[in-house]
Structure 1
Amino acid sequence: MTFGALFPDTSTSTPSRVTWSWVWPVLGVAFLARLALAFWGDVPVHPDETYQYHEQAFRVVHGYGFVPWEYSAGIRSWLIPGLLAGLLWTGNLVGIDTSAEIGTLVETTLCLISLVLPVGLYRLTQGVASERAAIVTFLFGCFWHHFLYYAHKPMPGVLATYALIWMLVLMLRAPTSARLWMVGLLSGLVLTLRYQIVPALGLLNLFALMRLRQRYLPMFLGNLVALLAAGLLDLVTWGGFLSSFIDNFRVNFMYDIASNFGTAPIEFYAKRFGAETGGLVLLAAAGCVVLWPRFWPVIVSVVTCVAFMHIPAHKEFRFVTCAMPFVVMSAAVIACHPRLPAVLAPAFVLFWGAGVSLVFVASYTGIGAPLGHYQETARHGMTLMRAARDTGRVTGVDIRTRGLTIEHLGGYSTLGQTARFHIGLDRPGDRAAISHIIAQASAPPPSGFTKLTQSGPFVLWQSQTDEPRPALDLQSLYWPIPDKISQNFEPYGTKSPMAQR
């Protein structure tokens, strides 16, 4: 088989550099849509979104915050929290220092970065299909619900997807040394952000080596530079070269820690792809057939990556979101096939996609049916926490309902104040430190408190007296380490708290 559009020779025709005249206006609307969902329809996708990234950046800048067990064991790279901390520190220099202002700064920046996805999809589709298909793919990239939902979230799989798309865009260009080095750098960045995508990266690098042969060296050097940078970051922060990746792999594959968080059947991803695309994935399969002659190395790589994601018993759809850009791209390509009506077929697919996206966006904003128990509960919890934060006088939060836990509340990065959290507290001697109570709406009103707001089945009560703000001891903010690794696991990173115990 030939390598299709991969690394075309300079003597052949290069992919189109034409830019649709409506690209910039549509990108502006897409940016506003992302901001709207971030500020008024946010649904936390997972506790990791807050505690692994936002909370750790906040802790670096302000000196206090929750420490999840992953940071006790040293199995997370400081790349994303470090970049967020730099953004927070820069904001502080210009007077952006309240929790609400910091959240706005971070989410706006991430929404702006997310626009590289639709532009990258547009250029990628131009290289393997028609301009009409590229425009349809671009519109999907701007307004498809997954891309709106994840735009303001610093999740590594999402950021890795952006880098992967642009890596592929450059692979469809003539292989100059500078371009190959950048392809390798992006490949290494994807691996650094989300090493679970390694099956796709491994195949893409193998295909590149087979296609380029001795010209592959700049791409290899780009990979090497990215991995060296990631390794040195781990060496400085955790005390071991690439230790966060090594220890993360050990924890997940030797201790099967992921199964602690639930298991799913083998057909989980197939069902979720069907549901979350409204059946659009079936059109995408047909699109892959059309794209195969020019795009087969990428199709094989992405399908192989998704197949490998079936191996762990613990499955979450966010693990395979890297495949979603290729789903909408393939659907757009089949919709714009020359044998189908030139206007009717693309319009039908766009309306179909818009309908699916509207249903999910309605769920994200609380208008439609809830997406899941955690997301729905966290929506209410975050609403209550922001309401408490805005009072500016939080000293202690007493959570008096089993329906909410600390994982639903956004941590200190949301609260922005040195308050204490109490779970199920009913000790009169400690009541003086409590400024707010979260309880079921059906529970009787607590004495000495007034109702501040209600979200769903939960009510936030505020104390009628001011209390002194407590000092926080970071030693008490470490989350417990799961039993599977607490006794036997010895981290490679010598600076991790678990290695120094």
Structure 2
Amino acid sequence: MSLQKKTDTEWVAPLGWCLAIAFAVRILISIFFPASLRSDEIYQYFEPALRAVSGHGVVTWEWRDGIRSWLVPGFIAGLLKISATFGLGFSAEFVRSIFCFLSLPLVALSVWAGWRLGGRQGAWLCGLGMALWPDVANAGPRPLGEYFGGNIIAMATILGSIILGQCKDNPNQKPYILLLLCGFLFGLGAAIRFQFMPAAFFGLLFLSWKGGLRTVYPVIFSFLIPIIILGIIDYETLDYPFQSIIKNYYMNSTLGIANNFGKESKLYFVMQYIGLWGCASIAIFILCKKGISSCAFPFFMSICILFYHSCISHKEISFIYPSIPLLIFTALAGLVYYVQVEKNIKFINSVYLVVLCCLIVFHSGYEKEIKEKQVYIKIEKIASKQTYICGLALLYSEVNWADFGGYTYMKKGVPLYLFDSINDLSDHAGMYSHVIGTESFKEYNPEAQTVACKKNICLYKVSNACDKGQDFDQISKKLKVLGK
């Protein structure tokens, strides 16, 4: 198809601006919306990392049973040490800013692939769309394996699409450095979240099918590097190599523990995203039909991830995350086609369309949920800023402990406690000075001083001193009793 003529330097401006916009948006999200959309972000990544460097962190059943890898939490622990070295303390905000930066190559690759599709205009549309689409922007500052590993799988796929295009343009030349990078990214994404291993294998098969065996050899070689590193890390930190994969699969799939957290229909992911995206789903479907011809690899990788995850009983909406940026990229490629080939849409109007669509989807599909999640973190941050606080108790019967930030957002030296009921709270009086509960807590303790309330969640001061010993592991021991 006849597209806008490309020059060697026209990608520079779109690249710079799209990266700047993407980084700014992700940093703003990390500042104003720090709460996790899934509790795993805190309790499977930040808390074990914090425990490794400070000695304090909530331990959940996954870590007690040894089904989690230290690959990402170990990396976060290193970032927390760097943060402390700079005088910032063990700052979650610093860690999130680094993850924001690490998410930018996905935008850069989208600019590059867009430039190959449609010159300067293609670079702008693909880069801007990837910078602003709510799912992708929200994933940037978050260390959750689905997001961090998912971004890397998406990077590898888009890079693979670029490589296949280069091989088609120059059949006698193989970009071996890019092939090595592509394989490494597929391996790293699979190592971060082993549930992406089928997607990585699909990527290797697709590259060998379209690019030939000479293409896939360097990809397989570099793919194995992060996988071997994962095995070594598991051996050093757990009991045997690849324990985080083998034992995780055994407990969640063979024993069916994951199904205890809920089962969903095979159409769960499709219906969830249609609900989140609304009318934008129709536009994405129409644009993808045009984009498939030039973005077959990203599109079919997206479908592959969606398909095999739909066959699993227990589902969380984040499980198929890497399919989202790939689907959006395919849709953006379709938009480039409409702008440059069919010329149904003017370029400037297509830019407005991309920005407006991103804003509408964020406002209608995500803003309410994200704001609701902020309540618990905001209350905990207020507690952390209290001049005198010697212990913070969470009333399990009134609030959801998993929505709080654990020790990640708590002032250093202040223990957290989890109590079942008012009687349990009373039996342990003297271990804490503040309590988080609902507004009804005042009915049980009229003398409690209300410090702050966000919606129905309130922070109360109930004592001026703690005359009993501190127990930083109480909440971990309580979760063990609860089977959490």
Give the alignment's TM-score, normalised by structure 2. 0.86
Partners of 2:471 and 2:85 lie apart in 1 by 25
- How many residues align? The count is 460
Equivalent residues in 2 for 1:217-296 (5 A)?
217-296=217-296
Name the amino acid aligned to 2:105: V
Q: Which residue of 2 aligns with 1:90?
A: 82
CA distance in 2, matches of 1:14, 1:177: 24
Match of 1:413 among 391, 408, 413: 408
- Residue 460 of structure 1 aligns to a residue in which SS? strand
User: How many angstroms does 1:357 deviate by?
Assistant: 2.3
SS in 2 for 1:45: coil
User: Whole-Å Cα distance in 2 between the matches of residues 363 and 476 of structure 1?
Assistant: 29
Q: Deviations over 1:204-225 (max 9, x none)?
A: 2012223231453221110111
Which of 96, 102, 122 aligns to 1:133? It is 122
**CA distance 1:434–1:202, change in 2 (3 Å):** same
Instruction: Look up the SS of the partner of 1:327 in the other structure.
Output: helix
Q: Is residue 67 of structure 2 the alignment partner of residue 75 of structure 1?
A: yes
1:276-333 Cα shifts (integer Å, max 9, x gaps): 2233333333333333334323322321221111111212211111111122222222
My pick for the range that moved more, 49-58 or 106-115, is 106-115
Matches of 1:309 and 1:395 in 2, distance apart? 45
How far apart, in 2, do the equivalents of 1:22 and 1:208 lie?
28
Q: Show CA shifts across 1:66-115 (max 9, x none).
A: 11111111111101110010011122222222x5xx12211222222222
Letter in 2 for 1:153: R
Query: Which position in structure 2 is the counterpart of 1:371?
Result: none
Residue type of the alignment partner of 1:432: G
In structure 1, the residue corresponding to 2:480 is in which secondary structure?
Answer: coil
CA-CA distance at 1:256 after TM superposition: 1.7
Q: Are 1:426 and 2:423 counterparts?
A: yes
Q: Is the 8 A contact 1:200 1:301 kept in 2?
A: yes
What code does the residue aligned with 1:193 have?
I
Question: Which of the residues 32, 35, 53 maps onto 2:27?
Answer: 35
SS at match of 1:480: helix
The alpha carbon displacement at 1:41 in A equals 2.7
Q: Which residue of 2 aligns with 1:112?
A: 101
* Structure 1: 5+ residue stretches without partners: 1-12, 367-375, 487-501
- The question of 1:359 aligning with 2:364 is answered yes
Q: Which runs of 5+ in 2 are unaligned?
A: 167-173
**In structure 1, what is the Cα distance between the partners aligned to 2:229 and 2:117?**
33
3-state SS of paired residue (1:459): strand
Question: How is 1:324-335 mapped onto 2 (pairs within 5 angstroms)?
Answer: 324-335=324-335
CA 1:199–1:281: 2 relative to 1, 3 Å = farther
CA shift digits 1:362-405 (9 cap, x unpaired): 32563xxxxxxxxx3x4322221111111153333333463313
Report the Cα distance in structure 1 between the residues aligned to 2:218 and 2:79, rounded to whole angstroms.
Answer: 32
State which of 139, 157, 162 in structure 1 corresponds to 2:151.
162
1:190 aligns with 2:194: no
Change in 2 beyond 3 A, CA 1:26/1:222: closer
AA matched with 1:394: I
Using the TM superposition, give the Cα deviation of residue 411 of structure 1 relative to its aligned residue in structure 2, in angstroms.
1.0
Quote how far apart the aligned CAs of 1:354 are: 2.6
Native 8 Å contact 1:16 1:127 kept in 2: no
Q: Greater helix share, 1 or 2? A: 2
Q: CA RMSD, aligned part only?
A: 2.8
SS at match of 2:310: coil
1:481-496 equivalent positions in 2, closer than 5 A: none
Residue 342 in structure 1 maps to residue 346 in structure 2:
yes
**How far apart, in 2, do the equivalents of 1:404 and 1:355 lie?**
31
The match for 2:313 is: 313
Match of 1:490 in 2: none
The answer to whether the Cα contact below 8 Å between 2:27 and 2:100 also exists between their aligned partners in 1 is: yes
CA shift, 1:270, in A, is: 1.4
The CA deviation string for residues 1-42 of structure 1, in whole angstroms up to 9 with x for no partner, is: xxxxxxxxxxxx999774152442443343233222222233
Separation in 2 of the partners of 1:262 and 1:17? Answer: 51
Native 8 Å contact 1:380 1:458 kept in 2: yes
Measure the CA separation in 2 of the matches of 1:323 and 1:311.
15
Query: Which letter does structure 2 place at the counterpart of 1:383?
Result: K
Distance 1:190-1:422 versus aligned 2 partners, 3 A rule:
closer
Q: Which residue is equivalent to 1:477? A: 476
Task: Give the corresponding residue for 1:456.
Answer: 455
Question: 1:313, 1:223 → 2: CA distance?
Answer: 29
8 Å CA contact 1:160, 1:190 repeated in 2: yes
Cα deviation for residue 471 of structure 1 reads: 3.6
Structure 1: 4+ residue segments shifted above 6 A: 13-17
**Pick aligned residue for 1:444 from 425, 442, 445:** 442
Give the secondary-structure state (helix, strand or coil) at the position aligned to 2:418. strand
**Counterpart contact for 1:124–1:165, Cα < 8 Å:** no
Q: Is the 8 A contact 1:401 1:440 kept in 2?
A: no
Match of 2:302 in 1: 302
Q: Which moved more, 1:242-251 or 1:168-177?
A: 168-177
**Percent of aligned positions with the same letter in both sequences?**
19
- 1:317–1:473: structure 2 CA closer, same or farther, 3 Å change rule? closer
Partners of 1:14 and 1:341 lie apart in 2 by 20
Specify the SS of the correspondent of 2:459: strand
Task: Give the aligned partner of residue 138 of structure 2.
Answer: 149
Measure, in 2, the Cα distance between the counterparts of 1:93 and 1:462: 33
1:430–1:300 Cα change, 3 Å: closer
- In structure 1, the residue matched to 2:171 is none
